Amino acid sequence: MHPISELQGALVTALKGDAALVAIVGADGVFDAAPNGRPAPYVVIARHDMIQRDGDAAPGQEHRLLLHCWGDQPSRKRALDMAERVVMVATALVAADIVVTHRQHLRTETVIDRNTGLARAAVALRFFSETS
C-alpha cells in the first residue's frame, strides 16, 4: 500500500476514535475526501503531499497534510475546538502499517467563509514515516 494511504488511513481512524472530536462532529464527521452535501461540522483532509526522504537503513517519507475543520457557526470557537482535537490526536499518532518517526503541528489558520458564513480552521501538519 502507498505511504500516503497508510498514514492517511491511520490518521482518519485515530480521529474517528477520539471521543471529544466525535462529540463535536458526530460519528460520521471525519473524511479523507470532501463530502458532498454533508452539513458542517466536519473534518476533512483537504491535501496530502509526500516527498521521498530515504535514509541509509530504510525508505522514508515526509508528509505534509492540510485538514479543514468546518464549524457549524459563524464563530471560530467550534472550528478551533475541532482543530485543537485534530492537533492532539495527530501529534500522538501511532500507526499499525507505517512507522511514524516525527509528528509536528505547523500552523492553524482560521477564516469565515464568504459563501457559507461558517468558520473554518485549516490545520497544517508534518509527519515523517518509514515503511515497516
What does the alpha-carbon distance between residue 96 and residue 6 come to, in Å, rounded to a whole number? Answer: 9
Cβ-Cβ contacts under 8 Å for 28 (sequence gap 6 or more) = none
Dump pLDDT digits (tens) for 24-36. Answer: 999 999 999 888 9
Q: In angstroms, how far is CA 37 from the centroid of its own chain?
A: 20
Locate all alpha helices (DSSP H) within the chain, ordered by sequence.
Answer: 3-16, 19-25, 76-90
Cα-trace Rg, the chain:
15
Beta-carbon count within 10 A of 27 CB: 8
CATH fold of the domain at 3-131: STM4215-like (3.30.2000)
pLDDT tens digits along 74-106: 999 999 999 999 999 999 999 888 899 999 999
Specify the pLDDT at position 47.
97
